[in-house]
Amino acid sequence: MKGSASVTLFQVLLIFTTMVQTQWSTVSSIYCKDMSPNVYRPHSVTITEFGAVGDGVTLNTKAFQNAIFYLNSFADKGGAQLFVPAGRWLTGSFNLISHLTLSLDKNAVIIGSPDSYHWPVIDPLPSYGRGRELPGKRHQSLIFGFNLTDVIITGANGSIDGQGAIWWGWFHDHTLNYTRPHLVELMYSTNIVISNLTFKNSPFWNIHPVYCSQVLVQHVTILAPLNSPNTDGVDPDSSTNVCINHCYVRNGDDVIVIKSGWDEYGISFAQPSSNISISNITGETRGGAGIAFGSEMSGGISEVWAEGLRIVNSLHGIRIKTAPGRGGYVKNVYISDVSMDNVSIAIRITGNYGEHPDDNYDRFALPVISNITIKDVVGANIGIAGILEGIQGDNFINICLTNVSLSVQSVHPWNCSLIEGYSNSVIPESCEQLRSNCRQTPVCYDGSSSSAMHVQKPRHMWSTSWLLNPLLKLASF
């Protein structure tokens, strides 16, 4: 009887462990489970049918614009596909339409021409709500979409090259009067798939869905020199139900960064980013982080789950950036299964990231940073384990570190102030603010969409003692 009870105990524990490990995998897959880059389109044309020449010299802006104008007549007839064959296709900005697939051959390269997407456009949102982009003072992105549905940008690992070097030079020389363009930007759009492509040398951020929902970015490679300015990889911005998976990014700024508007403009527009799933990402960045939040987070960021992050040769591993004046919140963030190698600062939470769009921000608009769980992290060749800094009068709370093992070079591995939380199995030992004692009842977010986990309360449904106590009694017979 005792042996059989032990087997039962083991089996139930195995089931329990599997439930915990797959809890967020199941939930997150709901966001994008019905989205695929392989949607059948009954109407298809090739860009050469509109006079395009893939010699890398001929400007094909009109060909792309005319092709998409023609395909718009099929939007309500099952949709259409624009195919880009092998070649080097120089073009300026062009706009997408709904129910469209833009498909690139494996040897196709769409090349952005700085001379022909060099004009400012008026932002449909009359505010500084969109990250760092200024109304009436930005260049249109190379590939742009507004108020669309059912858009697929895909290929057999074809490439989109922004020729960003000239833009980076203008930025460094302070000769730009307008914000640099993205490679792909979609606004107020839904059911978006970006997959199986390589993005190179973006002038600014690479993939920027803003005010969007149901967005899937997968099997994407993003490349830019490690010293290129602001070449973020994927930036979900005030967007919901976003999945980013199986991507490789090597760039000059954040690999994946979540945003939701800047200071008073983001606060007034109040469009959060939420329900975001990130998995199986490998990244390298000299100037940013493997995964980041903010610093434009004034509309709020919540319900973010990330796992399977591999961060190498980078400045930061995991980072939250905010400041007085931001308002908003970053909460209910669950990050697990992270490995780092040669990272200067493994975990950084910054409460004094002080850039502002103007001087009109409310200095008393303080952000709420809470329910941040980071677990199952290993790191080799780490400079500093963590710099975790809240704001005077605005402690960042429920910061939880579990099963974190870092090989740290610094004799002062942790620097913490104005934070509260919990730590367990952290090497080197975490800062005092995260070391709870028996009188404390810290709360750690467990990745579920509805509750947090009281790590010291056995009555909680996810506590191991809740499951073990009756079974241990059974095993004692």
Which one from 150, 253, 254, 446 is the annotated catalytic residue? 253
Contact by Cβ (8 Å): 147, 169: no
Is residue 253 flagged as an active site residue?
A: yes
Q: Left if phi > 0, otherwise alpha if psi is -120 to 50, otherwise beta: which for 278?
A: beta
Indicate which residues carry an active-site annotation.
253
